[in-house]
Chains A and B, each alone.
Chain A
Amino acid sequence: MKYLLLISIIAYFTFNNCLAQTNYSSQCNVINRNDSSGLYKFYLSVYNNNISGLLLFKKTSDSTIRAVLTSEMGPKIIDLELNNTSYKVNFAIKQLRKKIILKSFYTDFASIAGILKFNKESGRYFSEQSDSSKLNKTVLYNKKGQELEIYYFCNNNKTNADSVFLQHFNFKMRIELRKIDF
């Protein structure tokens, strides 16, 4: 009976902990709460190929965020409309019009904008760890283990992150964002 009670207590806390990790609500992300937007210098490295540009986030409704990536010299590279479960492609250059690439951008951008949510059945969930008041780490797990690691450097939790680093574990991809004030 004692063991049954112990197992029940452990099961209760484990279940509640999993629930708490299902929805992601980082205190500091890429959206500035004052003007509902964020502008970053964007660097992407994938299998030794590099892409850079300016990445703009803008909250367009309570549940929708636009993420627009443009080249430094002007023309747009990608324009996505994100919500907590799906995305719409407004524009993407030909080289990026592949489902696997767009889906990866969706996961990355919706994660760091703080709107991505998963069903419990999907086996994917976020776990947040704060090492200090300025550094927040979030890990996205799937059934196989770690999928994505995100580091936020935040000097002030009321505004958006100063820089963000994303490291994928399924494939060799790394994204670095540095805030631009404009």
Chain B
Amino acid sequence: MYKLLIIIITTFLSINSIKSQDFTPISNETTFKKAYTEKTALTHSLKSNFIQEKSISLLEKKLVSEGLFQFKNPDKLRIEYFKPYSYLFLMNKDQITIKNDQKQTNISTKSNKIFKMVSEITMECVNGNVLSSKEFKISIFENNSQYMLKLIPKDKTLKSLLTEIKIYIEKIDYTVGTLEMYEVSGDFTKMIFKNRQTNIPIADEIFVVN
């Protein structure tokens, strides 16, 4: 019985130790920054399916939605949700268009601070400029297969919405595999990017709503 208890305690401690060792502070930050900046500078376009999981403390189930993410350097972004609802977010230079079924809203990032920040963060994650962002305090971690950027907002408006953002970058190709946004309440949203394709032809027309 005594031996069994020791085994259980040892196993429990080992599991916790493995968990805490999962991501450790990066050993060579300069090398990573150089490689990431170089790699993202070569990314002219990005197309990826995504699954979004929204965890709300109020619900046992996660709210899961699916869509397609498309980016064209330097300032074109299309995020389209297909399931279980349709929603289209388009950014073309400083103009944002949102389409919900038949309803369309046009917003200028010059006049809307929140949308300006959201679009800047998304763009910077893809084009690599996130590492030099002045809006966040950034810490970098790594494990065997991924780098993890932990972004703590400095800006008051963003701070009132999010406590931190975690960006998981695949070591194999330096693309963003997962993005997590944590809210003040503890609720969080996770975006998992799948079937990522870089530098494929994407027409300019898809960033414009007729």
Give the B-binding residues of A (Cβ under 8 A).
Answer: 37, 39, 41, 43, 50, 52, 54, 56, 58, 60, 66, 68, 70, 72-76, 79, 90-91, 93-94, 180-182
Are A90's CB and B160's CB within 8 A?
A: no
In the complex, 25 of the A-B residue pairs with CB atoms within 8 angstroms, ordered by the A residue number, are: A37-B59, A39-B63, A41-B85, A41-B100, A50-B103, A52-B87, A52-B103, A52-B105, A56-B56, A56-B59, A56-B63, A70-B56, A73-B52, A73-B79, A73-B118, A74-B54, A75-B161, A75-B189, A76-B185, A76-B187, A91-B184, A93-B161, A180-B84, A182-B64, A182-B84
B89 lies within 8 A of chain A by Cβ: yes
Q: Which size class do B's interface residues fall under?
A: 20 to 34
Are B84's CB and A72's CB within 8 A?
A: no
Give the A-binding residues of B (Cβ under 8 A).
Answer: 52, 54, 56, 58-59, 61, 63-65, 79, 81, 84-85, 87, 89, 98, 100, 103, 105, 114, 118, 157, 160-162, 181, 183-185, 187, 189, 191
CA distance A136 to B208 in the complex (A): 39
Are B58's CB and A56's CB within 8 A?
A: yes
Interface of chain A, main secondary structure: strand
Residue with the greatest number of chain A CB neighbours at <10 A, chosen from B89, B100, B162 = B100
Are A74's CB and B59's CB within 8 A?
A: no
Residues of A within 8 A of B98 (CB): 50, 52
CA distance A122 to B157 in the complex (A): 38
Distance between A111 CB and nearest chain B CB, rounded to angstroms: 20
CA distance A182 to B98 in the complex (A): 23
Are A74's CB and B52's CB within 8 A?
A: yes
